[in-house]
C-alpha cells in the first residue's frame, strides 16, 4: 500500500491489555490546571521503568468540568489494577494536592472504583470534611491556600496499551515534523494518550538484550547508524525513525488515533522525506491486540 508516496508496510502493531483510569484536574485557570496535569503525568512514559504510562488527554472548557473551572483531563495506564491504584494515589498526592488552587475529580464513572482522594484525606490530620453530593463522595482537605477538593474515587476500566507506528524518513527534522503533525491530529481523538515526551519516542526498543540484566534494548533493526552492521529493516535512504505509542480505552479508540496519525504523516508525503510507515510487534506472540496498518488505512 502506498499513500502519497509513503509505503505502508504489511505489518501490525502489537498491543497489550492494561488497566486505565481518568482524572480531571481543575484550577483557577487553565495555566495552573495544566501545570498540575503535567506534573501528574510526568515520568510516566513507559511501564518498563515508570510503573505506569500517563498523559494529558485534552484541555477541558469550564463548562465541561464538575466545578465550572478550567480543567485538564489526564489518563493513567498500568499493567494491573493494584499498580494503577498506587500510581494514581501517589501522583495525585504529590502533584495535584500540592498544586495551587487545584481540585481533582473522577473522569470515569463506571468500572471498578479505586481511590482518588479517599486516602489523601488523611493529610487533613482530622480537619478534613466529607461531603456526599449527588451520590458522589468528596473530601475537603484544608491546605494553606484554602481547601483542596477531591472526589473520593474514580473508575478503573480495562484498556489497551502499546498501539504504535513508526515513521521512517530521509532526515531527522523530517521525521520529527511528521510526528508533530500526527500528534496534533491524534490529540483530537478522545480516550487515548501518547505517553512519550511530546507524544514521540525516538528510542524504540526490542525485547531482550545481550546484557542479562536488561529486558529491553535498542531496536537495532530500525537504528539508521547500524544499517551496515546489523540485520537492518531500513533501506539506504532512511536516516531517521521515530515512533508514536498510543494507549487507549478500547482497541477502536487506538484504531482511530492510528488512522488520523498515519494520515497526517502521509499528507506530508514523500516530497517531505517521509518514505515508510511501519510498526513494532513481537511476532504476535505477546499481545492479543493486533493493529494491521494496511487494514487501518484501507
Tell me the C-alpha distance between 58 and 23, whole Å. 11
Q: How far is CA 260 from CA 6, 98, 120, 234, 254, in A?
A: 15, 36, 39, 24, 10
Residue found by looking up cell 508516496 in the block: 5
CB 7 within 8 A of CB 144: no
- Which segment (44-52, 113-121, 143-151, 170-178) binds other proteins by CB under 8 A? 143-151
Query: Minimum CB separation from other proteins for residue 134, in Å?
Result: 4
Does the protein bind other proteins through residue 215 (CB under 8 A)? no
Query: Minimum CB separation from other proteins for residue 104, in Å?
Result: 10
Does the protein bind other proteins through residue 109 (CB under 8 A)? no
Q: Grid coordinates representing 135?
A: 451520590
- Which segment (8-16, 48-56, 62-70, 166-174) binds other proteins by CB under 8 A? 62-70
Does the protein bind other proteins through residue 149 (CB under 8 A)? yes
Does the protein bind other proteins through residue 220 (CB under 8 A)? no
Does the protein bind other proteins through residue 103 (CB under 8 A)? yes
Which of 134, 144, 271, 285 touches other proteins by CB under 8 A? 134
Which of 68, 173, 208, 215 touches other proteins by CB under 8 A? 68
Q: How many other C-beta atoms can be found within 10 angstroms of the C-beta atom of residue 118?
A: 17
The candidate with the shortest Cα–Cα distance to 77, out of 48, 36, 39, 103, is 48
Burial class (CB in 10 A: 0-12, 13-18, 19+), 229: exposed
Does the protein bind other proteins through residue 61 (CB under 8 A)? no
* Residues written for the chain: 298
Does the protein bind other proteins through residue 62 (CB under 8 A)? no
Q: Where does this chain bind other proteins (CB under 8 A)?
A: 66-68, 103, 126-127, 129-134, 138, 140, 146-147, 149
Amino acid at each position: 500500500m502506498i499513500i502519497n508516496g509513503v509505503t505502508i508496510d504489511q505489518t501490525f502493531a502489537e498491543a497489550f491489555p492494561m488497566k486505565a483510569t481518568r482524572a480531571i484536574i481543575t484550577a483557577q485557570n487553565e495555566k495552573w490546571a495544566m501545570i498540575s496535569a503535567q506534573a501528574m503525568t510526568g515520568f510516566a512514559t513507559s511501564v518498563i521503568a515508570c510503573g505506569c504510562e500517563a498523559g494529558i488527554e485534552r484541555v477541558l472548557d469550564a463548562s465541561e468540568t464538575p466545578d465550572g473551572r478550567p480543567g485538564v483531563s489526564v489518563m493513567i495506564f498500568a499493567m494491573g489494577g493494584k499498580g494503577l491504584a498506587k500510581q494514581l494515589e501517589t501522583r495525585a498526592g504529590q502533584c495535584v494536592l500540592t498544586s495551587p488552587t487545584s481540585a481533582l475529580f473522577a473522569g470515569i464513572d463506571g468500572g471498578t472504583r479505586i481511590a482518588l482522594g479517599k486516602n489523601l484525606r488523611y493529610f487533613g490530620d482530622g480537619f478534613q470534611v466529607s461531603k456526599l453530593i449527588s451520590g458522589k463522595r468528596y473530601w475537603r482537605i484544608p491546605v494553606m491556600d484554602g481547601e483542596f477538593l477531591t472526589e473520593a474515587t474514580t473508575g478503573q476500566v480495562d484498556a489497551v496499551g502499546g498501539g504504535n507506528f513508526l515513521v521512517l524518513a530521509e532526515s531527522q527534522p523530517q521525521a520529527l515534523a511528521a510526528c508533530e503533525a500526527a500528534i496534533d491530529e491524534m490529540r483530537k481523538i478522545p480516550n487515548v494518550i501518547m505517553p512519550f515526551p511530546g507524544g514521540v519516542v525516538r528510542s524504540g526498543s526490542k525485547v531482550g538484550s545481550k546484557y542479562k540484566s536488561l529486558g529491553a534494548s535498542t531496536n537495532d533493526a530500525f537504528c539508521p547508524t547500524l544499517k551496515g552492521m546489523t540485520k537492518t529493516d531500513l533501506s539506504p535512504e532512511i536516516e531517521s525513525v521515530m515512533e508514536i505509542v498510543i494507549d487507549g480505552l478500547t482497541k477502536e479508540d487506538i484504531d482511530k488515533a492510528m488512522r488520523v496519525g498515519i494520515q497526517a504523516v502521509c499528507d506530508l508525503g514523500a516530497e517531505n522525506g517521509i518514505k515508510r510507515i511501519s510498526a513494532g510487534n513481537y511476532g504476535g506472540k505477546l499481545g492479543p491486540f493486533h493493529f494491521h496498518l494496511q487494514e487501518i488505512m484501507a
